[in-house]
Structure 1
Amino acid sequence: MRNDLDTLFAAIDQAFKTVQQAHPEAVACGKGCSDCCHAVFDVSEVEAVNLLEHFQRLAPSVREQIRGAAQESLQAWEHAMASRLDPAVARIRCPLLDEHGLCLCYEARPVNCRTYGIPTVIDGKGHVCGLSGFEPGTSYPTVNLASLQRVLYDLSVQLAGEDKGAKRWPIAAVILNLPG
């Protein structure tokens, strides 16, 4: 299962790199850019387990700082969901984002983070980063998120069974559900 997730992440990273090389003027991603770190999304069980493994390797003081940020992030998530805000436009700071705009668990970042800066489609609707230079009406290589989410679902069910494998959580909830 671990190898399957690593293989999926490598394929996504390669797809991102391919689009970035073909359209360097349109991909705005770079070190310190954190637009995707304010997007509202949840993660699969397999992504959550992977994030927790990386999170647990951080220094205790850093983990405590992240837990504090996760409390705020989870409250914002709960408010957004209760208010029925459109997740595509809602903004919540990821608790894994440091003060320099860098991800503290970058190697373990979920699929949505890995694909954010290039054109994606899910349920027939296209999405691009608001900072990108991709022009509406122009055809670009596009990543199908539904197929990636299906792979994550299958890996999650293999890992945790049907009930738990089908669930998804905001990153803040993943961080806060760590044992002591």
Structure 2
Amino acid sequence: MGTDPASPLRLSIFEEASGWFRRARASLLEAIPCGRGCCNCCVGIFPITRLDAQELRLGLNTLPPAQREAIVARATHQIGVIEASYPRLRSTPCLDAWADTTIDAMVEQFAHLPCPALGENGTCHVYAFRPITCRTMGIPTESNGMVEGACTVQTAVPLIRLSPSLQAESVRLAENEAAALSAVGQNHLQAGDELLLPYGFL
């Protein structure tokens, strides 16, 4: 399968992620603070996939030229700031060969950078085309029997745990995303699967 943006496989992975979040949120009786204008998780860089980058660029193409150019300008500025500290990115934005510890340090160093598509009113200008990470962010995480909030806004977490079926569905979602990445093959932007968020807008 090619990289046709209208590919059913490509579309389904984003729809699947959004559907999982809706069901997970409903199962927690809506007891999470995520809502329109809440943008705490929209500040800070993080890795996205080639699929996410394609989706973001589709979103940019739906915007008025001035708004699109402003987002691209913000992304370009952020990339310049990041590459000043990590010049290796100038040759390729691909993160696949980078050590996890280095990526973690990079994310921490630039945790103050807002998403280039974040509006002044706290809304996302490309919401319908947001990355999978953005679509699933907000559900409390569970590890070794302990539940933690998904962000600093979640100072309390629901007493209800995410059901085993929804947890298993989350694992399947990750597997389906990997399969979709494998199916679309390489594109012209990078030779790997992951890149930092600002690069996805260029």
TM range (shorter): 0.7 to 0.9
Of residues 134, 142, 146, the one that matches 2:157 is: 134
* Contact 1:121–1:143 (Cα < 8 Å) also in 2: no
Say if 2:185 is the partner of 1:160.
yes
Report the counterpart of residue 94 of structure 2 in structure 1.
none
Unaligned 5+ residue runs, structure 1?
A: none
Seq. identity, %: 24
Q: TM-score, normalised by structure 1?
A: 0.75
Amino acid at match of 2:19: Q
Aligned residue-pair number: 173
Equivalent residues in 2 for 1:29-178 (5 A)?
Answer: 29-78=34-83, 85=105, 87=107, 90-120=111-141, 128-132=150-154, 133-134=156-157, 139-141=161-163, 143=167, 147-161=172-186, 166-176=192-202
CA shift, 1:68, in A, is: 1.9
- The Cα offsets for residues 93-138 of structure 1, whole Å up to 9 and x where unpaired, read as 100111111111111111110111113479xx97612212316x97
Of residues 13, 20, 23, the one that matches 1:15 is: 20
RMSD: 3.5
Unaligned 5+ residue runs, structure 2?
A: 2-6, 88-101
Amino acid at match of 2:183: Q
Q: TM-score, normalised by structure 2?
A: 0.68
Amino acid at match of 2:182: V
